[in-house]
Structure 1
Amino acid sequence: MNQSNKIFDGLGRVMNEAAGVADGVRREAETVVKSQVQRLVADMDLVKREDFDALRELVQIQGEEIDALRQQIASLKGGAKAK
Structure 2
Amino acid sequence: MQTRNPLLDEFAKLTTGAMGLAQAAGEEAKTAFRSGADRMAADLDLVRRDEFDALKAEIAALRAEVAALKSPVKTAKKPATGTSTGRVPPQDAAG
Compute the TM-score of the two structures, normalised by the length of structure 1.
0.71
Structure 1 residue 55 displacement after superposition: 1.5
**What is the identity percentage for the equivalent residue pairs of Structure 1 and Structure 2?**
29
What is the aligned-residue RMSD (CA, Å)? 2.4
1:4-50 residue CA offsets vs partner (Å, 9 max, x unmatched)? x3322221111111000101111111111111111111111112333
Higher helix share: 1
Q: Distance in 2 between matches of 1:27 and 1:51?
A: 31
> Using the alignment, how far apart are the partners of 1:35 and 1:60 within structure 2?
35
SS of 2:25's equivalent in the other structure is helix
Aligned to 2:11: 11
Give the aligned length: 78
In structure 2, runs of 5+ residues without a counterpart are: 80-95
Tell which structure's C-alpha radius of gyration is larger. 2
1:29 maps to 29
TM-score, L = length of structure 2: 0.63
Structure 1: which 5+ runs fail to align? none
